[in-house]
Structure 1
Amino acid sequence: MAYIRKHRGKWQAIIRRKNHPNFTKSFVKKRDAQLWAHCIESELDTSPEKRSPSFQLSQTRFQDLLLRYRDEISPMKKSHRQEVSRINMLLRDKISALSLDQLTSGVFARYRDQRLKQVGPQIVLHELNTISVILNAAIFDWDIPLPDNPVKKIRKPSQPQARDRRLEPWELDAIERAAAVNGDDFLWSTVVFAIETAMRRGEILKLEWRDVSVERRIALLRETKNGTSREVPLTACAVDILARQFEEGCLCPFPYGLGKLRLAWERALVKAKISDLRFHDLRHEGVSRLFEKGLSIPEVALISGHKDFRVLSRYTHLRAENLVGKI
């Protein structure tokens, strides 16, 4: 029998069945609580193995999904740090306290609009994609009877305009001088290597000597952002940099951590009086120079590791004056 009680100003119906979680729901009127309890009990009597989807959703909060995904799924991903950070941010938001039956497209549309007032569209896109992935896991992997994924029904923020920042010749000279003055000589080698290879910062720092073949002029990247390894052809300049590093007895081609590199980069920009330049812009510079050398899209994609040519186009910013000779 269902147990009906007065709780916090409402009538609460509680149903306890063996091998089932407790069924609980609150109503303003006692009669509604009795009717709901009767329906649930009838359903359980006719289909013992069937649970009420509406109840299960009402008794599970969005934060339960976030925590489960963060603790069980995210650690298995290479990009888990960024994903865990986004999930922790969601856990601090009031949206995490909603029950699953309250998650609608309108809820996430309001969340989108609120976040767009605080951060840029790219960050909001990442957050919405993370939410969508978690809801899909709940539907397809965890047997949570969500009727659909409400995030797929809302309009996503427009992609921000791609950065078109290219290095000016004087900026490279200024960075070299600033690095020397600051005592960060290692920075200059890393900057040039990044431009010559179009590698990501993390890929450069994870490079090991066993992955470098000077004879073949190839560097093997075992861990990349998209999860697949790739071989990067090395220019003569890149090979010279690696040779100098090896002669100096470095345990690996670039033996310093992310923090040290970031600090040296920021100090050099201040010393050189350069604004609005990110280390990742060196990858943009490298990709653009490859195209200016006449390489085709598939050739550049092989070097940069881009699997989507549309994404690759966002990294490409050609200078008109460098194309004059071709026309």
Structure 2
Amino acid sequence: MASFQQLPSGNWRVLIRAKGHKTISSTFSSEKLAKAFAKEKGRQLEEIKATGRMAAPKGSTVGHYIDDYLDYIQPGRTLQRSALFIYKALKDRFGKIGIERLSKSHLDAFIDARKKEGVQGQTIAGDLSLLSTVLRYCYDVKHLDVDPDMSDKARKSLKTSHKLRIKSREVECVPTQLEIDAIIGVFATKKRQQIDMPKVIRFGLYTSMRQSEICRIRIEDLSHENKTVIIRDRKHPDEKMGNDETVPLLPSAWEVVENFIGTRTSGPIFPYNPKSVSVAFSRARAEAGVARPVRFHDLRHKAITDFFGIGLSVPQVALMSGHRDWQTLKRYTHIKASDVHAAYNSLNIKQQDAKNLNEQMAWLLEQVGELRAAQA
């Protein structure tokens, strides 16, 4: 199973081959250390063969396996800085605890501490979700005798045992037209503003796209015939890549696009950094004297509400916004009682108009029939 080789440097290399497992290779300063390593690895492989699981090596900690997991995934995947920051925080919190000693009580204490810090349930759930990936890695890849679902169980218990909301707050700060006009008006005085914020804001209102999507869509993905654009890798709860979606651009949005791209034939339609768009919007809001904490993302709430207001169905609005289910989409709708009355009255008017038109057509046909009879 194990073979040893002394290298020209004087070190010893050990190779361990076992059926059903990747070849294990490591180098040591002495033959004694190499043989001790091979013996321990052989024991672990035998334990896996017998039980499917093995005990973690003595002294191995949660911090060790967080680093191990990051080394395992990094060659083919680049993590966002926010995720790396959370993994570092998890190491600070759990790093010195033995991986096999990690228990529900540790996670409960972590949740309580985060709650006292004023952290929202959704953020705590996100922290636990990343810890869960490490435990799952330990179980599936390293074959350790750990509970891979421990962190997931703690995350799912947030709403009940800890009485924390695990969904982000439902934002009620839907911008009014007066607020939007005031914010857009600020940019009229900014002659050196590099981002054409008025057009970006209007495009957001006409499409309900996220600012990251607005800054990512490309001229090459426009269909002038169908008045559509492809959003590449659109946000999806399960699929991170390859989730391309073709969405329609309504006349107002299409007009903004045509005016903005001019004679350009390639590249981003709006070649801006989405973070810069958000910062510019927030600064203009402050300068405009808008008291409410309206964010650029809140334009999405208004857009979706407006889509329902003009009579689009749930599937049609979901296509525009990229939502996968009504439970999520309804958080972005802000229909008032007066909107229901207005829609009902509008429907009645349309039905009455159709009835009157039918009556007029029947009368006209009757008159034509009488005229033909008289001529005969």
Q: TM-score, normalised by structure 1?
A: 0.79
Local SS of the residue matching 1:231: strand
CA shift, 1:189, in A, is 0.7
1:260 maps to 276
CA shift, 1:85, in A, is 2.6
Provide Cα deviations, 1:88-131, integer angstroms capped at 9, x if missing partner.
Answer: 2222x231221112211110111011112222222111111121
Asked whether the equivalents of residues 195 and 285 of structure 1 are also in contact (C-alpha less than 8 Å), the reply is: yes
User: Is 2:297 the counterpart of 1:280?
Assistant: yes
Give the whole-Å Cα distance in 2 for the aligned partners of 1:57 and 1:116. Answer: 33
CA shift, 1:315, in A, is 1.8
User: Is 2:323 the counterpart of 1:306?
Assistant: yes
- One of 235, 240, 245 as aligned partner of 2:260: 245
1:124 maps to 124
- One of 183, 194, 199 as aligned partner of 1:189: 199
Structure 1's 248 and 256: CA in aligned 2 closer, same or farther, altered over 3 A?
farther
User: Is 2:218 the counterpart of 1:208?
Assistant: yes
| Identity over aligned pairs, percent | 24
Structure 1's 201 and 79: CA in aligned 2 closer, same or farther, altered over 3 A?
farther
Give the whole-Å Cα distance in 2 for the aligned partners of 1:222 and 1:144. Answer: 38
Give the whole-Å Cα distance in 1 for the aligned partners of 2:183 and 2:317. Answer: 26
What amino acid is aligned across from residue 190 of structure 2 in structure 1? N
Local SS of the residue matching 1:101: coil
When structure 1 is superposed on structure 2, of 152-161 and 232-241 the one drifting more is 152-161
Give the whole-Å Cα distance in 2 for the aligned partners of 1:63 and 1:237. Answer: 53
CA shift, 1:248, in A, is 6.8
User: Is 2:137 the counterpart of 1:137?
Assistant: yes
CA shift, 1:320, in A, is 2.8
Count of aligned residue pairs for this structure pair: 289
Give the whole-Å Cα distance in 2 for the aligned partners of 1:77 and 1:288. Answer: 37
Give the whole-Å Cα distance in 2 for the aligned partners of 1:197 and 1:20. Answer: 63
Structural RMSD (CA): 2.7
2:97 maps to 98
Asked whether the equivalents of residues 196 and 237 of structure 1 are also in contact (C-alpha less than 8 Å), the reply is: yes
When structure 1 is superposed on structure 2, of 49-58 and 177-186 the one drifting more is 49-58
Give the whole-Å Cα distance in 1 for the aligned partners of 2:318 and 2:70. Answer: 32
Give the whole-Å Cα distance in 1 for the aligned partners of 2:112 and 2:286. Answer: 36
User: Is 2:102 the counterpart of 1:86?
Assistant: no
- One of 244, 248, 255 as aligned partner of 1:229: 244
Q: TM-score, normalised by structure 2?
A: 0.69
Provide Cα deviations, 1:33-71, integer angstroms capped at 9, x if missing partner.
Answer: xxxxxxxxxx96xx9822797851653211122223334
Structure 1's 212 and 81: CA in aligned 2 closer, same or farther, altered over 3 A?
farther
Structure 1's 170 and 310: CA in aligned 2 closer, same or farther, altered over 3 A?
same
Asked whether the equivalents of residues 198 and 286 of structure 1 are also in contact (C-alpha less than 8 Å), the reply is: yes
Provide Cα deviations, 1:4-51, integer angstroms capped at 9, x if missing partner.
Answer: xxxxxxxxxxxx8451449xxxxxxxxxxxxxxxxxxxx96xx98227
Q: Which has the higher contact order (CA 8 A, sep 6+)?
A: 1
After TM superposition, the runs of 4+ consecutive aligned structure 1 residues lying more than 6 A away are 51-54
What amino acid is aligned across from residue 231 of structure 1 in structure 2? T
What amino acid is aligned across from residue 88 of structure 1 in structure 2? K
1:114 maps to 113
Q: Which has the larger radius of gyration?
A: 2
Give the whole-Å Cα distance in 1 for the aligned partners of 2:318 and 2:45. Answer: 56
Give the whole-Å Cα distance in 2 for the aligned partners of 1:64 and 1:309. Answer: 42
CA shift, 1:78, in A, is 7.7
Give the whole-Å Cα distance in 2 for the aligned partners of 1:160 and 1:246. Answer: 36
1:64 maps to 64
CA shift, 1:79, in A, is 6.7
Asked whether the equivalents of residues 182 and 267 of structure 1 are also in contact (C-alpha less than 8 Å), the reply is: no
For structure 1, list consecutive stretches of 5 or more residues without a partner in the other structure.
Answer: 1-15, 23-42
Structure 1's 323 and 71: CA in aligned 2 closer, same or farther, altered over 3 A?
farther
CA shift, 1:287, in A, is 1.6
Structure 1's 313 and 74: CA in aligned 2 closer, same or farther, altered over 3 A?
farther
What amino acid is aligned across from residue 240 of structure 1 in structure 2? E
CA shift, 1:219, in A, is 0.9
Structure 1's 246 and 110: CA in aligned 2 closer, same or farther, altered over 3 A?
same
Provide Cα deviations, 1:260-279, integer angstroms capped at 9, x if missing partner.
Answer: 32332122111111231111
Provide Cα deviations, 1:128-167, integer angstroms capped at 9, x if missing partner.
Answer: 1121232122212331221443223332232343112211
Local SS of the residue matching 1:142: coil
Local SS of the residue matching 1:278: coil
Give the whole-Å Cα distance in 2 for the aligned partners of 1:74 and 1:163. Answer: 35
Local SS of the residue matching 1:276: coil
2:351 maps to none
